[in-house]
Amino acid sequence: MHCPYCRNTDTRVLDSRVADDGGSIRRRRTCPADTGGCGKRFTTVEQMQLTVLKRSGATEPFARDKAISGVRKACKGRPVTEDQLAHLGQDVEDALRLSGAAEIPANEVGLAILGPLRELDEVAYLRFASVYRAFESADDFEDEIAILRAERQVPDSPAELTSAPSG
């Protein structure tokens, strides 16, 4: 590791700590003056590289911007802000990192997008799902809409089940 101050290649690790739920390692380093360095301290962060395995068999580094780009198209004309898209991108990346796998199939990236997008905007979700799941007819849309409606009608908590008005 080169010292960022004097470019000396002989730096030493003083302390290492796991950060971000195991997704990165924070290292406190020093550039020893006795080996011709400047004696300054600095911190490095090593992040796990997420790799996407494409259907063709090729791999490429995960790019949050690329994932957001696809979602942005589905959100065109919808009341979704760039800030919300950025949060969605972060949520997707966090979910992929928490899976613990360094290589993620492209299919799983799409699946990781669907959940947060459904919460953000149902119309954008339907647009994205129609492309991602290759909807072939209006029936596919109707089936997905029926699922969304059914989930909306299911009470979220046991308290809602018992608080129904008595007649």
9-15 average pLDDT score: 93
**Position 127 confidence tier, pLDDT thresholds 50, 70, 90:** very high
Domains of the chain, by residue range, sit at 12-47, 51-152
Residue 163 scores a pLDDT above 60: no
Residue 125 scores a pLDDT above 90: yes
Mean pLDDT of the chain: 87
CA 93 to CA 156: how far, in whole Å? 26
Q: What is the pTM of this model?
A: 0.65
Q: What is the pLDDT of residue 160?
A: 52
Lowest mean pLDDT among 36-50, 62-76, 119-133, 146-160: 146-160
